[in-house]
Amino acid sequence: MAEPAIPGASGAPRILLVSADRDRHARDLIAAFGALGATVVLAGLSDIGFDTGSASGLRIPQFGDNLPDAVCLRTMDAGSFEQVTRRLGVLHALARSGVPVSNGPRAVENCVDKSMTSFLLHRAGLPSPRSYAVESRAEAARILAAEPGPMVLKPLFGAQGKGLKLVRGADDLPPAVEIAGGVYYLQRYAGVETGGRWSDVRVLVSAGRAVASMRREAANWITNVKQGANAVAMPADREMEELAIAATAAVEGDFCGVDLLRDESGRAAIIEVNSMPAWTGLQRATGSDIAAIRARDVVALAEARRRQLLSQPLPQAV
């Protein structure tokens, strides 16, 4: 009697590319996976359902009852608390089923909540400006009064430099009803002005190595490319790269954009860790083909899983 086949154990690696839309990054990734001979299916997490009547317990477009060899997470769809919880649950289910998910749900959860990112960096002993997260304007005012200098008020869930505010005292604090979710996340301001310019560093980490770095320069203290900063090439900075790799490990990620800077004393500090980083500015500054790097690392995960499946003994026919 013929031995049963292992679904997905032969032929081209099958990659599930998760993206909220078919943007430039998604299109570049599809092309990069294709160049490696992989079969790629693009879907949003909103398109994937739980189905306990299927063999996998999930229903994924174009996969039927089967599972992909690996998942490449580009972006998540926005939605209600219930929708986002269910979508993260899909990622957890895939990971628990043995499918490599990059980045996995733990990394997403650890990075989307800036207070958890700060906690994990602190726990790992990594340098990062002191941060607070409280749910009371009065408590936020008390923190500001005790701090030696200005702080940055950030949305707890935010990206691309949106919603940042430099605060020095209680009068600078918006009322709780104007704060997303009612949470005041405050981080010590560590920026340094040089000749009317501010700058920081973005290091992209993939599979435990720093694959690209750039300096972001701006005419104000918000140094995000989406907010008008210029992305420029920079020489290798081993200290910054090692900190970025350690920060990515601290949040349990394998593909992260890590933002760092040096304070007035020259000490390096980690400002943020992004588990779903864009790379247009970084690619422009460095000339690196980030999509190709990302695809190679995800395909390597898929091939490792296939080798593991093939090494397992097949069930005996009855």
- Note whether 24 and 80 are same-domain residues: yes
Q: What is the DSSP code string of 76-109?
A: -----HHHHHHHHHHHHHHHHTT--EES-HHHHH
User: Which run of H or of E encompasses 259?
Assistant: strand 255-262
Hey, which residues does 233 pair with through a beta bridge?
none
Domain boundary at 147, 171, 188, which? 188
- Note whether 161 and 209 are same-domain residues: no
* Section 77-91 average pLDDT: 94
Q: Rounded to the nearest 10 degrees, how much is the dihedral formed by the CA atoms of 132, 137, 143, 147?
A: 100
* Section 90-115 average pLDDT: 96
In a domain, 2, yes or no: no
- Note whether 175 and 199 are same-domain residues: no
Residue 70 has pLDDT above 70, yes or no: yes
Return the CATH number at 173.
Answer: 3.30.1490.20
Q: What are phi and psi of 122, to 5 degrees?
A: -60, -45
In a domain, 143, yes or no: yes
Residue 283 has pLDDT above 70, yes or no: yes
In a domain, 286, yes or no: no
* Residue that wins the pLDDT comparison between 159 and 180: 180
- Note whether 231 and 263 are same-domain residues: yes
Helices (H), 97-217: 105-112, 114-123, 137-146
- Note whether 270 and 222 are same-domain residues: yes
In a domain, 115, yes or no: no
- Note whether 205 and 256 are same-domain residues: yes
Give the model confidence (pLDDT) of 220-260 as tens digits: 777 777 777 788 999 989 999 999 999 999 999 999 999 99
Domain boundary at 188, 220, 235, which? 188
In a domain, 158, yes or no: yes
- Note whether 202 and 231 are same-domain residues: yes
In a domain, 107, yes or no: no
Mean pLDDT score across all residues of the chain: 90
Percent of the chain with pLDDT over 90: 69
- Which region among 27-36, 130-139, 212-221, 293-302 has the lowest average model confidence (pLDDT)? 212-221
Per-residue b or e along 43-64, where b marks 16 or more CB atoms closer than 10 Å to that residue's CB: bbbebbeeeeeeebebebeebe
Give the model confidence (pLDDT) of 255-273 as tens digits: 999 999 998 888 999 999 9
* Section 142-153 average pLDDT: 92
| pLDDT grade for 137, boundaries at 50, 70 and 90 | very high
Domain boundary at 162, 188, 214, which? 188
In a domain, 162, yes or no: yes
- Note whether 183 and 204 are same-domain residues: no
Give the structural domain span for 139: 130-188
Return the CATH number at 228.
Answer: 3.30.470.20
In a domain, 224, yes or no: yes
Give the per-residue pLDDT at 252: 98
Give the model confidence (pLDDT) of 16-34 as tens digits: 999 999 999 999 999 999 9
In angstroms, how far is CA 154 from the centroid of its own chain?
A: 17
Distance separating alpha carbons of residues 255 and 291, to the nearest angstrom: 12
**Counted domains in the chain:** 3
Give the per-residue pLDDT at 7: 46
| pLDDT grade for 307, boundaries at 50, 70 and 90 | confident
Omega of the bond leading into 230 within 30 degrees of 0 (cis): no
Quick one: CA dihedral 257, 90, 294, 305, positive or negative?
positive
Give the per-residue pLDDT at 5: 32
Give the per-residue pLDDT at 314: 55
Are the C-beta atoms of 48 and 90 separated by less than 8 Å?
A: yes
Give the per-residue pLDDT at 316: 58
In angstroms, how far is CA 180 from the centroid of its own chain?
A: 21
- Note whether 211 and 196 are same-domain residues: yes
- Which region among 42-46, 67-71, 155-159 has the lowest average model confidence (pLDDT)? 155-159
Give the per-residue pLDDT at 9: 45
Residue 91 has pLDDT above 70, yes or no: yes
Q: In a 3-state reduction of DSSP, which class is residue 1? A: coil
